[in-house]
Amino acid sequence: MDALIIQKPENQLTLIAKVEAHMGERLLGREEKSHYHQFKVKGADAKDLMRFLRDDASLGFSYFIDATAVDYLRYPIAQPERYAVIYTLLSPALGVRAQVKAFVPEGAPRMPSMTDLFAGANWTEREVWDLYGIEFLGHPGLTRILMPDDYEGHPLRKDYPLKGRGERGNFPVYHATTQKPQGGA
């Protein structure tokens, strides 16, 4: 899959052992995925885990791949919180990927930003805020990135109506004024 980075699945055992030792009780769970491991934590603990993954000498997750989010509203399987922000990292030294799944509560959807650890998190966190309304504390410029600046609401939330709340009938349009000279003027 990766041209230059050799995948070494056997190193996942090292990763799991180190993360479990570091996080202890704060690790809500972990899940084996197809070619990476996912660690579930609370939103407040995510930054500590991300810093550990990046700075630990034997792990070296220096490559930030992506950040995305999930809305578990009306999800059939019970989840710790309604929202989850998912960060994907890659360790070139170890040859494995890791995901950090940070659960964010519905009432106060906010968690610390990862932009000071990974500069690549800047735009992806803006996208998560734009579409899910999860606030990232300490983000240098948390503004909309996909939706128009004057848009209200966060459309990828599960309780957002699919056809919108009237945005299609009420948005700024360009009005022609020079199509034809005004009569009498």
Partner 1 sequence: MGVSGSTNDWATTTLNTAVNWARANSLWPMPFGTACCGIEMMAAFMAKYDTARFGSEVMKFSPRQSDLLIVSGRISLKMMPVLQRIWEQMPEPKWCISMGACASSGGVFDTYTLIQGVDQFIPVDAYMPGCPPRPEAFLDALMMVQEKAKKGQAKSQEYVTQDSGSDPAKSVAFRTPDAHYRHNVDQSTPAAEGKAG
Q: Does 162 bind partner 1 (CB under 8 A)?
A: yes
Residue window 108-147: x/- pattern of binding to partner 1, with contact defined by CB under 8 A: ---------------------------------------x
Residue where the block lists tokens 């040859």: 95
Check if the beta carbon of residue 18 is closer than 8 Å to that of residue 58.
Answer: yes
Nearest CA to 123 out of 103, 141, 107 is that of: 141
As a whole number of angstroms, the distance between CA 28 and CA 170 comes to 44
Nearest CA to 113 out of 93, 142, 89 is that of: 142
Q: Does 34 bind partner 1 (CB under 8 A)?
A: no
As a whole number of angstroms, the distance between CA 146 and CA 156 comes to 12
> By rule CB under 8 A, what count of residues binds partner 1?
29
Q: Does 169 bind partner 1 (CB under 8 A)?
A: yes
Q: Does 163 bind partner 1 (CB under 8 A)?
A: yes
Minimum distance of partner 1 from residue 69's CB (angstroms): 18
Q: Which residues bind partner 1 (CB under 8 A)?
A: 147-148, 152-153, 155, 160-180, 182-184
